[in-house]
Amino acid sequence: ADARGDVARAILYMDLRYDGDEGSTTLDLVVSDCPETVPQGAGMGYLSQLLQWHLEDPPDDGEKERNGKVCADWQGNRNPFIDYPELASAYHGGSRPLLGDGLGYDCSIPPNKNKKRTTTRRHPLS
């Protein structure tokens, strides 16, 4: 269970980073409670579940150290959801209610999101 938050933050970062602005070479990956509704099959994960995992397993020293090493040695950028955990809900918004009985999330209710999808998204730290 202690790795779920790490996985959630990696996926939430992929949603932030891979926004389709690279033209036809990169999909606009979208974390959604209703991934089957995302155009071009670019939906991934279940946002409400990932936000829950993020809250239940906050970044620890090992994850913060790995984030720094990845930045320094490979990517040249950091996962902001590790450095500033509060940005996850500020950027991705809130959760949808579960339908129960394993039926998933209620996709008929609009998500409580602060994020606005546009063709150009700003980094939450800028």
pLDDT above 90 covers a percentage of the chain that reads 38
Handedness of CA 93, 31, 56, 109 (dihedral sign): positive
Q: Could you read off the pLDDT of 20-57 as tens digits, one per residue?
A: 777 666 777 888 888 777 777 778 888 989 999 999 99
Tokens describing residue 106: 């209620």
Tokens describing residue 19: 């926004």
**Residue 24, pLDDT score:** 67
**Residue 19, pLDDT score:** 74
Mean pLDDT of the chain: 80
pLDDT at 76 over 80: yes
| CA–CA distance, 50 with 35 (Å, rounded to integer) | 13
Contact (CB, 8 A) for 15 and 32: no
The residue-averaged pLDDT of 106-116 equals 61
**Residue 66, pLDDT score:** 95
**Residue 42, pLDDT score:** 76
- Other C-beta atoms closer than 10 Å to the C-beta of 125 total 9
Reference 49, options 3, 97, 100; nearest CA is 97
**Residue 119, pLDDT score:** 33
Give, for 90, the enclosing helix (H) or strand (E). Answer: helix 87-92
Give pTM, 2 decimals.
0.78
Tokens describing residue 43: 């939906």
